[in-house]
Amino acid sequence: MEPRIKREAPSITTDLRSDTVQVPSVIRNCSGIRIFGKRIKSLIFTTDIAIILNNDADAVIAVYPFTPHPAVIQSIANVSTIPILSGVGGGTTQGKRSANISLFSEAQGSLAVVVNAPTPIETIKQIEEAVDIPIVCTIVTEYMDIQARLDAGVDILNVSGGKDTAYIVSRIRENFPDVPIIATGGPTDATILDAINAGANAISWTPPSNGELFRRKMDKYRNKERERYMQEHQGMTIEEVEDLEDHRD
């Protein structure tokens, strides 16, 4: 039997979509997490509607530092072409309100709901009773009681431990070899690989801000205009052209 030849997947885009925000390709090294048959490896961490509409991640993790609101979830659901993991509180917002927002998130098509690190066990149980989609719990330190959260209904762990993320993932993996883990990837390919090698199944990645993306585009436009000008003036800069004109005068 001849060996199977692995072929690269064809890539198709258009001029208008050429500026899509692309997640680091190194994320493809992780195993991914299958949620209702959808394999999720990369999650883009943002609530920016424009970025959500223009990225190549497998899913969006929509968690933000304010009280979760149905209007935010609905707005993201209206524009997103990829699955959404919706933040439903757990810090300031707890109990019945978190459960109700979770139910609303499910009704809007969210693939999962995400609760913050301080979420009480009782709130997790209320959410578990309210929805039929996975509960993702954010883990920020190795000191959190993982077993209690899993027993309450948590399905996936979302490790966000800053520079200690890979270490926390490895500690969790020692005691829970089969639990699905999402981990923040950090700023470089090396930190992403550290999280994957520690046992993360999927990686969340924070994209550049809208302002940073605009700065890059403005730099591109400026360089393009400069090149056009120099092509029209035989390779001379505007200062050289003005100096030549001054001498002619």
pLDDT for the residue numbered 99:
96
Residue 194 placed within a domain = yes
- Statement: residue 3 has pLDDT above 80: no
- Stretch 156-180: mean pLDDT: 97
Are 129 and 157 a contacting pair, CB within 8 Å? no
Residue 11 placed within a domain = no
- Stretch 149-158: mean pLDDT: 98
Residue 74 placed within a domain = yes
Q: Do residue 112 and residue 218 come from a single domain?
A: no
- Statement: residue 1 has pLDDT above 70: no
The string of pLDDT tens digits covering residues 63-85 is 999 999 999 999 999 999 999 99
DSSP string, 177-205: TTS-EEEE--SSHHHHHHHHHHT-SEEEE
Q: Do residue 220 and residue 188 come from a single domain?
A: no
Q: Do residue 75 and residue 166 come from a single domain?
A: yes
pLDDT for the residue numbered 23:
97
The string of pLDDT tens digits covering residues 5-60 is 767 778 788 877 777 899 999 999 999 999 999 999 999 999 999 999 999 999 99
Q: Do residue 41 and residue 149 come from a single domain?
A: yes
C-alpha–C-alpha distance, residues 34 and 36, integer Å: 6
C-alpha–C-alpha distance, residues 60 and 58, integer Å: 7
Q: What angle do CA 42, 21, 86 make, to 5 degrees?
A: 50
Structural domain span for residue 231 = 212-247
Count of the separate structural domains present in the chain:
2
What 3-state DSSP class applies to 138?
Answer: strand
Residue 5 placed within a domain = no
Q: Do residue 130 and residue 34 come from a single domain?
A: yes
Q: Do residue 110 and residue 216 come from a single domain?
A: no
The string of pLDDT tens digits covering residues 105-147 is 999 999 999 999 999 999 999 999 999 999 999 999 999 999 9
Q: Do residue 236 and residue 191 come from a single domain?
A: no
Q: Do residue 198 and residue 243 come from a single domain?
A: no
Residue 88 placed within a domain = yes
Residue 58 placed within a domain = yes
Q: Do residue 93 and residue 109 come from a single domain?
A: yes
Q: Do residue 152 and residue 238 come from a single domain?
A: no
Token code pair at residue 129 = 């009773």
The string of pLDDT tens digits covering residues 220-247 is 889 999 889 888 888 888 888 778 777 7
Residue 188 placed within a domain = yes
Q: Do residue 162 and residue 236 come from a single domain?
A: no
Give strand pairing partners of 139.
159
Q: Do residue 196 and residue 237 come from a single domain?
A: no
